[in-house]
Structure 1
Amino acid sequence: MLSALGLDEVHETAYRALVSVGAADVPDLARRLTLGEPATDRALRQLERHGLAAQATGRPGRWVAAPPEVALGALLARRRQELERAELSATLLAQEYRAREAEPAVHDLVEVVTGRGAIAQRFLQLQLGATEEVCALVTGDPIAVSGADNEAEAEAAGRGVAYRVVVEQEVLSRPTGVRDLSAALGRDEEVRVADRVPTKLLIADRSLAMVPLTARTAEPSALVVHDCGLLESLSGLFEAVWRHALPLRLGRGGTVATHPQGTGEDPDGPDSIDLEVLSLLLAGLTDASVAKQLDLGLRTVQRRVRRLMELADVTTRLQLGWHAYERGWVARTR
């Protein structure tokens, strides 16, 4: 608990033991700490430097604990001052950076990031720094960054950052693809599916973008693009893919559950399972793949498709897709 004040576990344990007994000599304290006497003596000397312990007057070798409210209060005050100075330095550096960024040089408009670790770290930074919106294109072959491992996405969405994501159809076929996308939908992210996505892409607040630079065979590298014409082109690419992608509708957690009566579903219309089956079919999955992803039987999926066709009063699946989109069955309501 006191590590934030600069004390490691040994020093904290020694101070707590000294507080509990009030005063002790080195051999007695060493037995309590199950440490050797030299190590105990070093710990006490370190506590003395922090103002947390002192040698008893007139009792050589005996140590007493400083009152916690005084000694720890002083350490806390010192830490607060250090944090305030650090915060001031960060503010000044940010002002200096913004002033320099007002007239960026051409070579400052893009950064080249090389290596899996560096790319993953920069990928997280862009999302953690976003305040309004993150737009992403996700392909089916992650190289340096895996969407399933991206904790920053949940953190940013929890802060109210809006997410618009287009995933490649192949993503739905991953073992955890449907579950991960269900979690994203549960965070009120907007997710759409396309047969193919032209490239991986992340855009944060329309001011920074990240796009791969090298092919799979080389050491992975990426471009971080600042506010410039190239960023506008990447934003235009995302919007074009977004317009032509299909909305995805899934239950939370990647599982399907029937809704009890009285939940507001139309008893004569498609239920939640029907809509999830329909959404995955429109995303390009086969009946067998839908059954596997939603943990349903193949005949159950086929029976539900026939029911949907009856509800839409159509005779082919192509017609079903058109009528489903026209009726808003595949559009996810917030």
Structure 2
Amino acid sequence: MLSDVLGLTPEEADTYRILVSVASATPTGLAELIGCDIRQVVGILGRLEDQGLVARSLGDTTRFAAAPPAAALRAPLSQRQNELNLAKLELDSLDEIYRAATLGRGAAEVVDVIHGPEAIRERLGHIQLGARKEIMNFVKAPFFSSGNMTDDAVIERGVRYRVIVERAMLDGGAPSFDDIIQARATGEVVRIADSVPLKLFIVDGELAIVPLLGSTNAAKAGALLVHKCSLLDALIALFESEWEKATQFITSAGAVQNAPAIDDMGTQILTLLLAGLTDQAIATQLRTSVRTVQRRIRLLMDTAKVHNRMQLGFHTARLGWLEAEHDGR
């Protein structure tokens, strides 16, 4: 963005873009193109001229032309790149100092206490933005904040999210089926468990936040911030153990050789059914009726040639119906 690179206001950036697209223009013509007062345009042109981004036409000093973008932007872009490089060097240096200090923490320093939901949200946001490799998350009610804590910008950097959602939350409709599909579309890997033992947020295997659920008073809510230590190792091992036992969240059917085909809705119903949701909860999640869910389950049983839901679960694995997608490791 020009405003970011050159420190321009949005109005100044828009004026420069318009001048780039035309040979030259008068302040009156620019005011008509931009849709603002001519006096404002004159002021904008004066500031852009001071910065060397526009110049008056040689043959007609009442007209203005844009400086060539390559020439105008190369220097500030190079300066910004140099600043970013220096900032990265400083970050790496601070990171090394922090890691060295972490290794020297005493027993009383490996766990910090965070007081209040606002402080918890703020700390979660900070450590999430600093993630480099992977974030692991147990999702368990109640939420301290609305929505999930997944940050699309963090995922775009290549950070992986692995999330285990407690089934009771799906029973209550939060998160919704659509929320999980959207999260998966951005790169979040989601599994479902009957229950998770605690709320947990682990970043890069180096830090963990454990919100405390004992207090019913939100103002007294707190969390533990766990640094590198044997306790953190135990929390990571706990997550990995629960991850292996949790049910993959499959949303679309795929071609499975030598097996009867099912459609996406059948796949979604099976996923939620095997996760332990009731027919009513499945209907709510898929925005359909209980009658439709029951009819589709009956159809799945007929397709699998079984007589009850327990057999359906067994034959789902045997037929490979939920192996079309893999959330991987």
Q: Whole-Å Cα distance in 2 between the matches of residues 92 and 121 of structure 1?
A: 24
The one-letter amino acid of 1:91's match is D
Q: Which runs of 5+ in 2 are unaligned?
A: 57-61
Q: Whole-Å Cα distance in 2 between the matches of residues 47 and 12 of structure 1?
A: 9
Moved more, 283-292 or 156-165: 156-165
The one-letter amino acid of 2:104's match is E
Q: 1:201 maps to which residue?
A: 200
Asked if 2 retains the 8 angstrom alpha-carbon contact of 1:136 and 1:164, the reply is yes
Q: 1:218 maps to which residue?
A: 218
The one-letter amino acid of 1:179's match is D
Q: 1:254 maps to which residue?
A: none
Q: 2:113 maps to which residue?
A: 112
**Cα 1:160–1:303, aligned 2, differ >3 Å: closer, same or farther?**
same
Q: Whole-Å Cα distance in 2 between the matches of residues 40 and 295 of structure 1?
A: 53
1:320 aligns with 2:312: yes
**Cα 1:130–1:10, aligned 2, differ >3 Å: closer, same or farther?**
closer
* Number of aligned residues: 318
Q: Whole-Å Cα distance in 2 between the matches of residues 11 and 199 of structure 1?
A: 52
- Provide Cα deviations, 1:226-280, integer angstroms capped at 9, x if missing partner: 21111122123323433443333223xxxxx9x8xxx557673544433321221
**Cα 1:92–1:332, aligned 2, differ >3 Å: closer, same or farther?**
same
The one-letter amino acid of 2:286's match is L
- What is the CA distance between 1:212 and its match in structure 2? 0.1
Q: 2:271 maps to which residue?
A: 279
Q: Which runs of 5+ in 1 are unaligned?
A: 56-61, 252-256
Asked if 2 retains the 8 angstrom alpha-carbon contact of 1:212 and 1:223, the reply is yes
Q: 1:292 maps to which residue?
A: 284
1:169 aligns with 2:161: no
DSSP-derived class of the 2:250 partner: coil
DSSP-derived class of the 2:268 partner: helix
- What is the CA distance between 1:13 and its match in structure 2? 7.1
- What is the CA distance between 1:113 and its match in structure 2? 3.5
Moved more, 193-202 or 97-106: 97-106
The equivalences for 1:227-246 within 5 A come to: 227-246=228-247
Q: Whole-Å Cα distance in 2 between the matches of residues 292 and 228 of structure 1?
A: 43
The equivalences for 1:147-186 within 5 A come to: 147=148, 150-152=149-151, 154-173=152-171, 174=173, 177-186=176-185
**Cα 1:217–1:73, aligned 2, differ >3 Å: closer, same or farther?**
same
Q: 1:90 maps to which residue?
A: 91
**Structure 1 vs Structure 2 CA RMSD:** 4.4
Asked if 1 retains the 8 angstrom alpha-carbon contact of 2:200 and 2:211, the reply is yes
Higher Cα Rg: structure 1 or 2?
1
Q: 2:59 maps to which residue?
A: none
Q: Whole-Å Cα distance in 1 between the matches of residues 260 and 285 of structure 2?
A: 26
DSSP-derived class of the 1:136 partner: strand
- Provide Cα deviations, 1:275-329, integer angstroms capped at 9, x if missing partner: 3212212222222332332244433322332233344444332333344345544
**Cα 1:130–1:266, aligned 2, differ >3 Å: closer, same or farther?**
farther
- What is the CA distance between 1:177 and its match in structure 2? 1.1
DSSP-derived class of the 2:310 partner: helix
Q: 1:137 maps to which residue?
A: 138
DSSP-derived class of the 1:224 partner: strand
Q: Whole-Å Cα distance in 2 between the matches of residues 225 and 145 of structure 1?
A: 24
Q: Whole-Å Cα distance in 1 between the matches of residues 320 and 17 of structure 2?
A: 65
DSSP-derived class of the 1:181 partner: helix
The one-letter amino acid of 1:292's match is T
**Cα 1:178–1:266, aligned 2, differ >3 Å: closer, same or farther?**
farther
The one-letter amino acid of 1:242's match is W
Asked if 2 retains the 8 angstrom alpha-carbon contact of 1:119 and 1:144, the reply is no
Q: Whole-Å Cα distance in 1 between the matches of residues 322 and 31 of structure 2?
A: 70
**What is the percentage of aligned positions where both structures have the same residue?**
39
DSSP-derived class of the 2:313 partner: helix
The normalised TM-score by structure 2 is 0.71
**Cα 1:36–1:144, aligned 2, differ >3 Å: closer, same or farther?**
same
Q: Whole-Å Cα distance in 2 between the matches of residues 101 and 75 of structure 1?
A: 38
Q: Whole-Å Cα distance in 2 between the matches of residues 300 and 193 of structure 1?
A: 23
